[in-house]
Chains A and B, each alone.
Chain A
Amino acid sequence: DQQVKQNSPSLSVQEGRISILNCDYTNSMFDYFLWYKKYPAEGPTFLISISSIKDKNEDGRFTVFLNKSAKHLSLHIVPSQPGDSAVYFCAASARNTGNQFYFGTGTSLTVIP
């Protein structure tokens, strides 16, 4: 049962433009969300998080938006840079189910110079 879904396996964006990566979840109990970035042969690297009490969190070029009613979150990267090319995973957890995070299947972002 895939509780966290990333329906776009890949995305290509021109350098300097906005990259928008989307993530949907089914469990309304999820209250904490993260985005991870993963380069080939490396472990995932934490990028940005958001808790359910907020609808937006910004960190430099990265902004995460949370729409609880739609059970949807998105990661915006502005402006996109070639070094942003990686696989991006969203992950979600619910405090009352312990520390297990549920990961999406990932979206491979390619930023074209």
Chain B
Amino acid sequence: EPEVTQTPSHQVTQMGQEVILRCVPISNHLYFYWYRQILGQKVEFLVSFYNNEISEKSEIFDDQFSVERPDGSNFTLKIRSTKLEDSAMYFCASSSTDLGYTFGSGTRLTVV
């Protein structure tokens, strides 16, 4: 069964450093998303991406965040200057239509 692959599974970074979280969506999917879940809290939407541009983003997705699909297969989330409160599980998802998603297994980001 096709999978959404996320790397790394766990990233530890110092506050103020830049991190790039990587995702390989399912190959024929057209819609791509990032979500995050801070420990013990709800899953939060960050951004959706379609046709090589951001289609929607939440309040959380401020200027510190950016997404890119650099080579037609990878979908990356960059956080320019990490803060302690960015520590969370980050989930990538993709879908072929607007009905339901396939999620990756997540990247746990720990900012120290």
Interface residues, chain A, with chain B CB atoms under 8 Å away: 32, 34, 36, 41-46, 49, 89, 93, 95, 98-106
Contact = CB atoms under 8 A, between A and B. Distances in A.
- Report whether over half of chain B's contact residues are helix, strand or loop; otherwise say mixed: strand
Contacts of B104: 43
B48 A99 contact: yes
A89 B95 CA distance: 18
Given A43-B91, A43-B104, A89 B56 contact: no
B55 interface: yes
Contact of A43 (B45, B55, B58, B103): B103
A49 B43 contact: no
A22 to B, nearest CB: 16
Contacts of B105: 41-43
B40 to A, nearest CB: 9
> Size range of the interface on B?
20 to 34
Contacts of A32: 99
A99 B106 contact: no
25 contacts: A32-B99, A36-B103, A42-B105, A42-B106, A43-B4, A43-B6, A43-B93, A43-B103, A43-B104, A43-B106, A44-B43, A46-B101, A46-B102, A89-B42, A98-B48, A98-B56, A99-B50, A99-B95, A99-B98, A101-B45, A101-B101, A103-B42, A103-B45, A105-B41, A105-B42
